[in-house]
Amino acid sequence: MEELEMHLGATATNGKAVAPTPEQLQMVAFHNALPFVGFGFLDNLIMIVAGDYIDTTIGFTLGISTMAAAGLGNAISDAAGIGSAWYVEKLATKVGVQAPKLTPAQMEMAATRWSSNIGRAVGVFLGCLLGMFPLLFLSSKEEMKLKEGKSS
């Protein structure tokens, strides 16, 4: 019954759905951003760590370029992302951000879809920035060459 009342309340007298409020659209964006922050974070973190490891071990031995090592690191990260997606979404729901109560007609509106996609894009962007933190701890190739030169 509550769902029917919500649907009727979100329908104007002419039978068309009422557009979501700006607050509802903000909640749609925020609700969609959270899982993508987690995804972007894990994606970049795994890609950087795996790519660096490949570059300094297998890549050095096989003579592949840094970009090839980064591409292989990205492949590993993407495969890990498939396995971790469920956990990221579960954690995002535990944070407690609830999606606003919208009718199916409101969910299909362009403004709602835009808010959803903008939230996802901002979320993955922020997550990728946060996932770059391993770069603070990785040595550059120049630093590694200097260390090797001192130990020889």
Query: Mean of the per-residue pLDDT values for the chain?
Result: 86
Residue 102 domain-assigned (yes or no) = yes
Q: Nearest to residue 127, comparing CAs of 28, 51, 48, 36?
A: 36
94: in domain: yes
In a domain, 3, yes or no: no
pLDDT of residue 2: 59
Q: Encode pLDDT of 38-88 as tens digits.
A: 999 999 999 999 999 999 998 888 899 999 999 999 999 999 988 888 888
The pLDDT assigned to 96 comes to 77
Residue 26, domain member (yes or no) = yes
Cα separation, 151 vs 129, in Å, equals 35
pLDDT of residue 16: 80
* Higher-pLDDT residue of 82, 140: 82
**What confidence tier does 114 reach under pLDDT thresholds 50, 70, 90?**
very high
Number of domains in the chain: 1
